[in-house]
A and B are shown apart, each in its own frame.
Chain A
């Protein structure tokens, strides 16, 4: 969906380095999400935020951190504690509340140098 922008498209991380993935949306959605996708796997939830200044851990939060200082932005930091960070990272957003369709950005592919 054109309203969700992820950058960069490709990112390389060196050993011991933290990297930050950007996610911006102009859909006026309250909720935002970060997923990790590995080959042959479904999407696994890393973190999600239902409102500004609040976020919750998903199923695989270890080694990641997020912030939600603005409604339109939900950056994800992959820390050096994440030992296997190579994956395709997808950001999504939705209206608040249950049963709301989530719309995805184009993703960031992170690789280790």
Chain B
């Protein structure tokens, strides 16, 4: 099955700086890649997703890039704010079903 890995496990950034989280996946058939943000004790919330026919997608301060050849995709957060502090999960799935394989998460800490 699909195996998704996230790096680094913890990331600390100064407020206003950029944060980048990278995920790698194993199944070349995967074609849907969402990112979720989870605050402590709360539900994961979808923040952005990308499909394999697109190389990059942006939504305000958040962007995701996909490199299908290298089988990795990255989340970019610019101008970080304290409310960006959370655990971020990446996931991957294939079209034939909607089974998501999740990474173990990255703790992002934005230092005021």
* Chain A contact residues, CB within 8 Å of chain B: 1, 31, 33, 35, 40-45, 48, 50, 58-59, 90, 94, 96-107
| Cβ-defined contact, A99 with B43, below 8 A | no
Please tell me if the beta carbons of A98 and B45 are within 8 angstroms of each other in the complex.
no
Q: Which of B1, B31, B46, B103 has the most CB of A within 10 A?
A: B46
11 contacts between A and B (CB under 8 A): A40-B105, A41-B104, A44-B102, A45-B99, A50-B97, A59-B1, A94-B98, A96-B98, A98-B96, A98-B97, A102-B100
Closest Cβ of chain B to A85, distance in Å, is 19
B93 and A98 contacting across the interface, CB-CB below 8 Å: yes
Tell me what chain A mostly uses at the interface: helix, strand, loop, or mixed. loop
**Contacts A42-B89, A43-B89 known; A99 to B51 CB distance under 8 Å?**
yes
- Chain B interface helix/strand/loop/mixed: loop
> Cβ of A106 and Cβ of B43 under 8 Å apart?
yes
Q: Which 10 pairs across A and B sit closest by C-beta, in order of nearness?
A: A98-B95, A42-B102, A99-B32, A104-B43, A42-B104, A43-B102, A104-B44, A106-B43, A101-B46, A42-B103
* Contact indicator per residue, chain B 69-112, by CB within 8 Å of chain A (1) or not (0): 00000000000000000000101011111111011110000000
